Structures are given as C-alpha cells and as structure tokens.
C-alpha cells in the first residue's frame, strides 16, 4: 500500500506533547502576589507588548485574508493558488499543521470548500492542497509531466536513512544522465516496472497463497482449545505480530525471521516514529528511535549478505524457483538485481529493504484490523461475509480460492469502505520542468508540491453525490459496508466506477500503489482464515463502539485504533 506521513509518538521525550501551557495569575490575597516577577505581568510594559503582539497577529491575518480572497476571486487566467490566511509571518501554518493535521484539513475545506487549490506554508516548507475533483483529475491524467520524485527522495532520506551519496537516484529527473555503469539515473522507473511485473498475475497469486499458508500454520500452532475461550486483550497488537511475520516470510523468505526474531517488534517501533523522522528531530531528542532504525538496518544488511552467499538473485526468470528461504520471492530477487546494477552499496540496499517492509506492512496491517473489527462488531455483516467466503473455497482442498474474492460484492465493498474511512495517505505530484496549468484558472509554479489528501476526498459529499448518487445513501462519516454496491434487476455488484477522484487510498493515475492487489488479498484472506479456524467475538461490544480510527496519525497512512480491543477466540471443531 502507499505510504505517506503520520504522527507516531510515545510518552517519552521522543514524542511531541499536545498540550497548551497556561499562565495562572494568583489573586491579590495570595502571599505569592508580592513576587516582583508576577507584578510585572500587570505592568505597563507587559500590556504594551501584549497589545503590540495582538495588533501584529490581527493585522497579519487581515492582510493575508485579503490577499487570499483577492487571489481566489480574481478573474485572471493562470493565477497562482491563494495562500491560506495565517497569523504569523514566516511561521504561517506550522503550529496548526503540527497540532492536528486532521483538524487543519477538515477545518480548511469546511470553511473554504472544494473550489480552488490552497497554498499552505510552514516555515520554508510548503505545499498546495488540491481539493477540487476537476483539478485532481487533471493531475492524475498528467503522469508524463508530473512526478513524485521529490517526496520519494525526502522519504528515503528522512525515514529510511539512505546514504546521501545515493539520494540522487531518487531525486534525479533527467533521463539523459547515467550512472558510471551506464544505467539511466531514474531508478524509480525500474522500481515501478519490477513491481508491476512481480506483484501481478501468477507471481501475485503465488505470494498471496504463500502468505495464507504461512499465516494458517502460525494460527494452527496457537494454544487455543475447542472447549474454551482464549481472550486476547489487545487484538490489534496480536494481529500485528501474526500478520507482519507472515507477510515478511511470504515476501522475503524465512531466514530473515530466524536471524532477526525481533524484526516485527522493532519494525512497529520504527513505524511509530515516522512523524519525528519527518520533522528531522536530532538524535539527542529521540535517541531510541535512531537506535531502533540502526538495529533494523544492521540486521537487514546481515540478512542480505547471507542471502547473497546462499542464493542467486539472478534466478528470477521463468526457470527460477518462485520462492526460497533466503531471498524469498522473485520480486525480491529482481529488486536485488537492479539495485546492484545501479551500484548501490549494502547500506543503501538495506534502506531500500526497510522501505519495502514499510510499504508492505505499515498500511496493510491496520487495514486488516479494521476489516476484521467491523465484521466482529456487526454479527449480521459477519454472517454475510462468511457466506461469500464459503463460496470462495476450493472444492478439492477447502482452501480459499483467492481470485474468487474479486467476484464477491460484499467482501469487496466492505474492504473499500474500510479503506475509505481509515486510510489517510497523500498523493504528491511536482512538475520539475515547467509551471503546471491546473485547468484554465490556476498555474502551479515549477517545483511546487501539489498534494491530494485521501482523507479529504473521502468526505467530499458533493463529489460523491455527483459521481454516484447512491453512494451517499448514508452519511460519509459513517461506516456503511454496502456503499460501493450497485444494484441491477438481478443482483448487487461491487463497483468503483466514477470514484477515481473520491476513493484514493492507493493514490491514483498511472502511479497508483503497485502493491494494492497483494494488500487486498491479505486483508480479505486474513478474515477468511480467522473465521475458518476460530469462533470469534468481541469481549465488550458496547466498549468496542467507542473505538475509532485515531486521527492523530493523519496523514501518515492507515490509522490505528484509539483504544485496545479485547477479543475472544475458540477453535472450531
């Protein structure tokens, strides 16, 4: 799945506290009132300074508001995107963005609507929010002109610690530039090509079936009896351990888990810090975050050395095995091939593999949780899903027939609705060669980042109602598993038709997340396997109603739950 930016913080000094400081002035009867430091609060200089500050804030906001409205209402073709009003010159919207990105985005479209692009600034950092469906369509259809390379280079450096001397492979946009070995410098194009080949067709099916077999083997070994319930107090963390281990083994082989048993725990610690990595916080502020990432990279590098000694990454053609214990799939071997052709060293390759771990787990695993959780909350929905899953069993073995998922309307509609509500990824595009015409009205300057937020497109009622009137039969802030069903005279069918600019958990256009098909298979098959092996129920249904996606992590990907969820399991006979 696509991965983009979220606030992950713990209670240590590695996390940014979200509380306001408050100055309390004691009353005159208090013995502290005689303190000269407190007396100065009421002094004339303090009042003058406060008045000057207030005047500065009000005048800055008024002037920026005037500029915003004037630009927005201008009839001049090709005008720039208006800059959102702000109070502090230079800092602009930094405090609002850092305080609550979810509130900032929601409040912005609530006040200003979905008409124009909106420029946002936070110190030297800036981007343009793209909220109008027509503008989104223009961007998605301009894949030959636009790129996401600047954001890719940022993520590889800040999140995955790619050595600086290799960042030009991700940032470069001149196809005439080549590496010393003669390879064109746009390595991202090779990444996409390899992903499209090995994350589709027979390779996708083999990896999906292997994931399901590995997960089943893990679940069968659990000490869960048929004559009694076993309670799992934190179902989300339990799923993280089971699903992440199975994805890693299915994709990258079993040896990496044997060599590095702590990889799952360390990965989720790392994932919890991506917002702090994005901020560029120094080591002294988040020491354990740096240590966790270094431990991940060191162990990944050790696994990569072992895999290169014991296996052959060139065997990713028709004659090569689909999977081996060292490299895992042909997909990993093919990646290893082009990374080495480009001349990346062991550290840069380790960063690439950490990026792959993030892309294959960070968004998928929370989505697995929400898909299962919603089926546990609604027994009627669970029974309907079980009926469709029963139809997906292979007659000869009783195993799930994964391609059949795509023929089942409610399985797919529930999946799409979960992603609509819980995935808050961003789609970024930049024109590195020239200014970009966003329709006849607006022009975005060269090298300016345009950002589409999935959490905004998911709630644009006017856009959904225009594209698919039946899709707004229930409010967009409610979970409705039938939202993506279209009925004819005989049956209901799943459809995303007309929703390209509305439903964007995987981005859009030709640069959609290439791993989306594997993610879908993982999400649906995990529910199917749980319902096959166990009777499952929530411990406290009423308390579960209070569990919501945690919007503190907007817009870094799929949102985790706000609270722990307790589940009971009993093995089926």
Annotated binding site for heme: 513
CA 23 to centroid of chain Cα atoms: 38
CA nearest neighbour of 505 among 495, 497, 515? 515
Packing angle, helices 409-422 and 364-377, rounded to 10:
120
* Gyration radius of the chain's alpha carbons: 26
Beta strands in 171-300 (DSSP E): 230-232
Q: Which residues line the annotated binding site? A: 513
* Residue partners of 561: CB distance under 8 A and separation at least 6: 236, 369, 370, 373, 547, 548, 549, 550
The phi, psi pair for 184, rounded to 5°, reads -60, 145
Looking at residue 448, what DSSP letter applies? P
**Residue 127 φ/ψ region, left for φ over 0, alpha for ψ in the -120 to 50 degree band, beta for the rest:** beta
Q: Which residue has the tokens 């009926």?
A: 387
- In contact, 81 and 117? CB cutoff 8 Å: yes
Please check whether residue 442 is in contact with residue 79, taking contact to mean a CB–CB distance below 8 angstroms.
yes
Q: Which three-class secondary structure state does DSSP give residue 77?
A: coil
- 3-class SS at 95? helix
Strands 449-453 and 125-129: parallel
Q: How far apart are CA 242 and CA 539, in angstroms?
A: 20
Phi, psi of 81 (to 5 degrees): -65, 135
Sole residue written with tokens 């590889």: 156
CA–CA gap between residue 166 and residue 171 (Å, rounded): 9
Q: Strands 492-494 and 118-122: what pairing?
A: unpaired
Q: 441 by DSSP, 3-state: which?
A: coil
Question: What do you get for the CA distance between the two ends of the chain, in Å?
Answer: 35
Q: How many CB atoms lie within 10 A of CB 67?
A: 13
Cβ partners under 8 Å of residue 17, min gap 6 = none
CA-CA distance, 32 to 20, in Å (whole number)?
23
DSSP state of 571: E
d(CA 570, CA 536): 7
- Give the angle 28-33-35 at the CA atoms, nearest 5°: 165
Residue 244 in contact with residue 268, Cβ under 8 Å? yes
Distance, CA of 525 to CA of 488 (rounded, Å): 28
Alpha carbon distance 383, 516 (integer Å): 26
């Amino acid at each position: 799945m696509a991965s983009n930016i979220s606030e992950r913080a713990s209670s240590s000094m590695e996390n940014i506290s979200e509380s306001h400081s408050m100055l309390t002035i004691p009353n005159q009867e208090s013995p502290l009132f005689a303190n000269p430091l407190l007396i100065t609060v009421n002094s004339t200089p303090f009042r003058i300074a406060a008045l000057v500050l207030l005047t500065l804030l009000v005048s800055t906001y008024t002037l920026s508001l005037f500029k915003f409205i004037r630009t927005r209402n201008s009839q001049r073709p090709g005008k720039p995107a208006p800059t959102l009003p702000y109070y502090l010159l230079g800092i602009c919207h930094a405090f609002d963005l850092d305080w609550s990105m979810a509130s900032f985005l929601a409040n912005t479209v609530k006040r200003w609507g979905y008409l124009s692009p909106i420029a946002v600034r936070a110190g030297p950092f800036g981007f343009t929010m793209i909220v109008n469906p027509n503008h989104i369509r223009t961007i998605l259809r301009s894949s030959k002109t636009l790129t996401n390379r600047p954001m890719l280079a940022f993520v590889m450096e800040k999140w995955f610690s790619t050595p600086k001397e290799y960042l030009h492979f991700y940032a470069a946009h001149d196809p005439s530039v080549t590496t010393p070995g003669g390879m064109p410098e746009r390595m991202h194009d090779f990444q996409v090509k390899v992903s499209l080949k090995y994350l589709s067709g027979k390779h996708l099916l083999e990896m999906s079936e292997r994931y399901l077999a590995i997960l089943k083997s893990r679940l069968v070994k659990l000490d869960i009896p048929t004559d009694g319930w076993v309670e799992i107090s934190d179902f989300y963390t339990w799923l993280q351990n089971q699903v992440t281990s199975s994805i890693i083994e299915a994709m990258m082989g079993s040896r990496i888990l044997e060599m590095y048993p702590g990889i799952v725990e360390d990965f989720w610690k790392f994932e919890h810090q991506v917002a702090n990595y994005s901020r560029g916080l120094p080591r002294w502020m988040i020491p354990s975050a740096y240590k966790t990432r270094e431990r991940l990279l060191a162990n990944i590098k050790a696994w990569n050395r072992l895999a290169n000694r014991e296996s052959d990454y060139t065997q990713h053609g028709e004659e090569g095995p689909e999977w081996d214990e060292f490299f895992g799939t042909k997909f990993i071997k093919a990646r290893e091939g082009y990374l080495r052709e480009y001349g990346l060293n062991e550290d840069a390759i380790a960063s690439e593999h950490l990026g792959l771990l993030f892309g294959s787990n960070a968004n998928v695993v929370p989505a697995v949780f929400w898909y299962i959780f919603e089926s546990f909350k609604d027994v009627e929905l669970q029974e309907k899903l079980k009926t469709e899953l029963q139809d997906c069993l292979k007659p000869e073995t009783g195993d799930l027939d994964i391609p059949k998922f795509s023929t089942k309307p409610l399985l797919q509609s529930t999946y799409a609705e979960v992603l609509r509500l819980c995935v808050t990824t961003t789609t970024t595009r930049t024109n590195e060669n020239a200014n970009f015409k966003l329709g006849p009205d607006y022009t975005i300057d060269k090298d300016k980042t345009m950002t589409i937020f999935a959490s905004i497109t998911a709630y644009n009622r006017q856009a959904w109602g225009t594209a698919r009137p039946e899709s707004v039969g229930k409010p967009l802030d409610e979970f409705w598993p039938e939202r993506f069903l279209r009925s004819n005279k005989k049956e209901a069918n799943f459809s995303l038709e007309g929703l390209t600019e509305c439903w964007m958990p995987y981005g859009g256009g030709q640069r959609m997340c290439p791993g989306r098909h594997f993610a879908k298979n993982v999400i649906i098959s995990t529910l199917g396997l749980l319902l096959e092996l166990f009777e499952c129920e929530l411990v406290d249904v009423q308390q579960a109603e209070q569990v919501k996606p945690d919007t503190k992590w907007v817009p870094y990907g799929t949102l985790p739950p706000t609270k722990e969820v307790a589940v009971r399991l009993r093995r089926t006979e």
